[in-house]
């Protein structure tokens, strides 16, 4: 029996809602399903405003526009992240200043941020890796002190919390992903969360190709026109309808994923205690949304061997990000500072199958196989 790394989960209502959207007579964006999804997030988590986007990358690009990034502005981003966390700001003209991870988990090391701030710094982008919160009190304190904006990359962080506050609601802006590897999916998809009301009007304009079409549809103006820069950041109603089916089942999805994650943790703990690898770290201030189960091996060689041996028995485990500061595109632009923790996670972190339709017996088999390999 083979165990893939991911199987996108369908709740069963997706096709019905997409059919409904098709019959509603409005297939383009910002229709009934879009509004329903946005309201769901605003009410459940307390965002001032949410806007669905076609990806988290798009939500980050909107954030870069809203932060009014100008050529030469500096943006602090962890190097251990997906390309989009940096690319969205770089495309707007920013210089990316990469920060290292903490020792205990891959999140940005808040203690090092202040050393990276210059008069050109404009934004900090904390990335909540595996849905586990960054040290947001420290980050927000630094941002207030230096008059910086904070854009949370919450791509993996749906339904997760920092000291009781939903992730994505703490910074000025935030970006979520509904890519089919995430807990809640729409194939490709994302959302911009807005927590500072000063951004709302412009965000709607940027979202709708630089026009005030959203105001027109609400009947607030009698014609709409070109007001600003922007793009076509909004998804069609078909995508929003798919997403709505997922949101209706979010509680069930989260309960199941957490059960699987806890099973992994329980079974991997005794092996970790023998010193074979380390377990994922969830600091006291953070919750775990069971987005991902990972382990950290001692070396690249050990991780490569583990992945290879698992593959031989048809269990797909995978590594994750490569350090962005060493990437082909950015290595010559990086200022040369070593970022050893980031490199360690790039070399040693391994992710295990984690999806709704995985069952506890699969997790048992995976853990027993890992034990047989490493012990
Ligand atoms: C931390 C992080 N940010 C951004 C993205 C980009 O998300 P999307 O594929 O929805 O654009 C990802 C993708 O997995 C991610 O892991």
Confidence band for 1, pLDDT divided at 50, 70 and 90 = confident
Res. 121: pLDDT tops 80? yes
Q: Cα 252 vs. chain centroid, distance in angstroms?
A: 20
Rg (CA), the chain: 21
pLDDT digits (tens, 9 = 90+) for 55-113: 999 999 999 999 999 999 999 999 999 999 999 999 999 999 999 999 999 999 999 99
**What helix, strand, coil percent values describe the chain, rounded to 5?**
40, 15, 45
Res. 324: pLDDT tops 90? yes
pLDDT digits (tens, 9 = 90+) for 171-205: 999 999 999 999 999 999 999 999 999 999 999 99
Res. 256: pLDDT tops 90? yes
Q: What is the pLDDT of residue 326?
A: 97
pTM of the model: 0.98
How close is the Cα of 209 to the center of ligand 1, in Å? 22
Which residue, judged by its Cα, is nearest atom 16 of ligand 1? 82
CB of residue 183 inside a 6 A radius of ligand 1: no
CB of residue 57 inside a 6 A radius of ligand 1: yes
CB of residue 55 inside a 6 A radius of ligand 1: yes
pLDDT digits (tens, 9 = 90+) for 327-363: 999 999 999 999 999 999 999 999 999 999 999 999 9
Rounded to an integer, what distance in angstroms lies between the CA atom of residue 80 and that of residue 106? Answer: 7
What is the arithmetic mean of pLDDT over 137-160?
Answer: 98
Q: What is the pLDDT of residue 89?
A: 98
Q: What is the pLDDT of residue 35?
A: 97
pLDDT digits (tens, 9 = 90+) for 217-245: 999 999 999 999 999 999 999 999 999 99
| Alpha-carbon distances, residue 63 vs 56, 79, 123, 203, 321 (angstroms) | 10, 19, 10, 8, 22
């Amino acid at each position: 029996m083979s165990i893939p790394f991911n199987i996108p989960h369908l709740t069963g209502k997706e096709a019905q809602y997409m059919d409904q959207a098709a019959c509603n007579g409005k297939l383009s964006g910002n229709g009934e399903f879009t509004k329903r999804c946005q309201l769901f997030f605003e009410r459940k988590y307390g965002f001032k405003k949410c806007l669905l986007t076609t990806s988290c990358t798009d939500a980050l690009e909107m954030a870069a526009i809203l932060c009014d990034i100008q050529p030469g502005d500096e943006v602090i981003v962890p190097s251990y992240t997906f390309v989009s966390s940096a690319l969205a700001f770089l495309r707007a003209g920013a210089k990316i200043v990469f920060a290292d991870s903490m020792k205990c988990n891959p999140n940005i090391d808040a203690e090092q941020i202040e050393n990276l701030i210059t008069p050109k710094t404009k934004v900090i982008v904390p990335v909540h890796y595996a849905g586990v919160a960054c040290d947001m009190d420290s980050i927000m304190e630094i941002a207030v002190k230096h008059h910086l904006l904070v854009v949370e990359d919450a791509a993996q962080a749906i339904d997760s919390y920092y000291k009781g506050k939903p992730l994505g609601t703490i910074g000025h802006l935030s970006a979520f992903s509904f890519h089919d590897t995430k807990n809640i999916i729409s194939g490709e998809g994302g959302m911009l969360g807005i927590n500072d009301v000063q951004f709302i009007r412009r965000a709607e304009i940027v979202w709708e190709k630089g026009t005030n079409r959203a105001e027109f549809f609400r009947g607030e103006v009698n014609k709409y026109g070109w007001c600003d820069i922007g793009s076509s950041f909004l998804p069609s109603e078909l995508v929003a309808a798919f997403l709505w089916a997922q949101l209706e089942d979010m509680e069930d999805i989260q309960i199941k994923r957490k059960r699987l994650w806890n099973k992994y943790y329980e079974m991997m703990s005794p092996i970790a205690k023998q010193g074979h690898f380390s377990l994922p770290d969830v600091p006291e201030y953070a919750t775990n949304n069971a987005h991902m189960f990972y382990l950290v091996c001692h070396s690249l060689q050990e991780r490569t061997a583990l992945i290879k041996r698992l593959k031989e028995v048809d269990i797909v485990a995978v590594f994750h990000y490569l350090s962005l500061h060493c990437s082909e595109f950015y290595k010559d632009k990086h200022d040369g500072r070593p970022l050893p923790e980031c490199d360690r996670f790039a070399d040693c972190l391994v992710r295990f199958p984690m999806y709704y339709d995985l069952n506890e017996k699969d997790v048992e088999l995976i853990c027993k196989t890992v034990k047989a390999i490493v012990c």
